[in-house]
Amino acid sequence: MLMKKGKEWALSCVAVSAVALMGMGTTVYADSTNNDNTNSENTADTSSTKTGAVNNALGSVATTQVANSNTAVTQATNDAVPDGGHVSDDFSNESQNQLGYASNFHVFANEAHLNAHTNGNVAVGDFYGNVNFGTNIKDGALEKEVSYIQTPHNIASSSFVNSNETRANKVVFGEDNDIDVTNPNRPSINGTNLDHITASGDDDAINADEIYQDKNGNEYIDIKNYLNDFLSNKSTSLTNKTPQLTVTDSDFPDKNQRVINLQDYAVTDDNNIVIDLDPSVLNTDTPIYIYGLSADKGGTNIIINVDTKGANPYNVNSQIRLIYNDGTANNNVERPNQETEFFDDNHLLWNFYDSTASDKLYTGQVNINRPFQGSVLAPKATVEVGQNLDGNIVADKVIINAETHRWDLQDNSDKETEYDKPVTIPGEIPDGWNNFEKPNIDNPDIPEEEKDIDPDTGGLVDPEEPSTEKPSTEKPDTEKPDTEKPGTGEEDNNTEDNNGNEEDNNTDENTDGEGNLITNGGSEGSDTNKDLSNGLLPGVVGNNKDESQTPSTSNTNESGTLPQTSETTGILATIAGLILLAFGLILKATHIKKEN
């Protein structure tokens, strides 16, 4: 009897000791959670080992104690930090934009690693912010910037951009984070001070309550489900759209001058232009010029579906160069990679997919190896940025190793982009007389026409006098044969003598050495003297505004291309020559009349 009681007493002592030890272990775990995330992982493993031992010794009584202890260390939200609410409180464009709510964030991903300056906001699950981020204030066009970070594994103190009279901030963190707002001008997240946002201020101040937190199980946006559901379905639906144009790299006649002119293609019923690209197109190490984008907020959106065909990784080796239509001939504007608050001109979405997958979703890695412009959609993939990129980056995982810039994709619009005047390429003859530079015809009395008149005598300068600017061996007569302008022999001889210097003066100012009109386009840094017409797509099958993209054998312009120099130079030169010929005859007749 005594032995039995002794054993019960001994077991009771062991149980009490075990519970005490367990309590000490969980207390250490709670302290380490608040101070060191890395240590807390190791402590959690140790705590689990201790818990297992206790459970074996004590059964259900010890299990109850462990459950209570774990509940005690759960991170409590700070009542002084307001609830972040839901993304729909701040944005209402989900149904109007191809990217839904993700269009309002520069980086939207389950996981993001920022290793280079990121000029934009984020909505990220697991966040590794090794550098600062946030959209810099340039012209005050962006009135409010919102960021959402569920789990900041590390974050730079210099993150975000200070608010001012033109910009308000809203930063929302996940529920399981320790936010300290004791110093409202320098709140902290998990022990890291945040220098550029405030916790509270005057009720009338713009920067009041800039830091928020998920509360009571609510998430500002369920990033994982949004990627798996809305954005994945969107990506698949875009790949199923009938394209206006399907391109492989071999379709470009000149691999060094690859041009897609948007004005050649009709829009879809929902005011988009859809283009399908073979993997070879972006793999090629030469730029792609996209002409005719609208700078207006309500312009036509361009969807480019890029088929990776399962390649992993898929390397983007083509620089993307964008030329905008501003409604005037020969005055196209090239957009550079840049920091900006102006997003109205982003009408370009690149959707990376995999035609070999049953759901067409690409699960590999996209490497951006050249400067890139336009928003990227790859909801199941990793996107690693190695060169400047402007747009939204929507992916499962994003790695930024080069500076990127926020440039939000614009909402859908039913306003089709209009081309008041043709979009022309630098160095290309415009298609049509209305675009031809002809000052001597519209205004025959301007001073330029008086260059061949002697100011002392009022007579014409001797046409036999050699020109120092252009040799008389120039080929005007070979481009304008006599058969194209019926007349007497005397008229032909007079034009021959007078035409040399007169026509050469115009050619010097407006044409190159071969008589082709020089038109300037593009912006600083662009190849303004390069004739890109050779890079257009003369043999690509697609849907044109008026006819099939299949090349025809007629004399009309081949569809899918801009007007070709070879088809227009001779005609325009002939017309110009004939008009100058008539003008020369008038001058000669006037001179003869004065002499009589």
Mean pLDDT of all residues in 270-291:
96
Tokens of 347: 């009408």
**Secondary structure class of 226 (helix, strand, coil):** helix
- Domain annotation covers residue 371: yes
Q: Report the mean per-residue pLDDT for the chain.
A: 72
Helix (H) or strand (E) holding 114: strand 107-114
- Domain annotation covers residue 467: yes
- Give residue-wise pLDDT tens across range 55-112: 443 333 333 333 333 333 345 568 889 999 999 999 999 999 999 999 999 999 999 9
Tokens of 107: 């980086």
From CA 428, how far away is CA 308, in angstroms rounded? 34
pTM over 0.85: no
Tell me how far apart the terminal alpha carbons of the chain are, to the nearest angstrom.
155
Residue 334 and residue 375 share a domain: yes
Residue 529 and residue 445 share a domain: yes
Task: Using pLDDT thresholds of 50, 70 and 90, give the confidence band for residue 536.
Answer: low
Helix (H) or strand (E) holding 243: none
Residue 475 and residue 341 share a domain: no
From CA 187, how far away is CA 376, in angstroms rounded? 33
Q: In terms of pLDDT, which residue wins out, 62 or 283?
A: 283
pLDDT(502) > 60 = no
Question: Where do we find the tokens 């041009």?
Answer: 259
- Give residue-wise pLDDT tens across range 476-498: 444 444 444 444 444 444 444 44
By the 8 A CB rule, do 302 and 293 touch? Answer: yes
Q: In terms of pLDDT, which residue wins out, 16 or 279?
A: 279
pLDDT(429) > 70 = no
- Domain annotation covers residue 228: no
Tokens of 172: 């929302």
Nearest to 347 by CA among 323, 381, 366, 331: 323
Residue 456 and residue 378 share a domain: no
CA-CA distances (angstroms) from residue 400 to 130, 441, 465?
A: 10, 56, 67
Tokens of 582: 């008539």
From CA 278, how far away is CA 287, in angstroms rounded? 15
CA atoms within 13 A of residue 110's CA, in its CB half-sphere: 14
Mean pLDDT of all residues in 235-245:
96
Residue 590 and residue 539 share a domain: yes
Q: By CB neighbour count within 10 A (0-12 exposed, 13-18 middle, 19+ buried), where does 189 fall? A: buried
- Domain annotation covers residue 107: yes
Residue 197 and residue 119 share a domain: yes
Residue 58 and residue 123 share a domain: no
The whole-number pLDDT of residue 256 equals: 87
What sign has the CA pseudo-torsion 47, 48, 53, 55?
Answer: positive
- Give residue-wise pLDDT tens across range 194-220: 999 999 744 444 445 899 999 999 999
Residue 542 and residue 514 share a domain: yes
pLDDT(287) > 70 = yes
Q: In terms of pLDDT, which residue wins out, 113 or 334?
A: 113
Query: Could you list the residue range(s) of the whole structural domain that residue 380 is in?
Result: 234-406
Tokens of 89: 């409180």
Residue 7 and residue 96 share a domain: no
By the 8 A CB rule, do 220 and 84 touch? Answer: yes
Backbone angles phi, psi at 492, to 5 degrees: -65, -40
Tokens of 455: 């100011």
- Give residue-wise pLDDT tens across range 25-36: 333 333 333 333
The whole-number pLDDT of residue 182 equals: 92
Task: Using pLDDT thresholds of 50, 70 and 90, give the confidence band for residue 418.
Answer: confident
- Domain annotation covers residue 503: yes
Residue 363 and residue 327 share a domain: yes
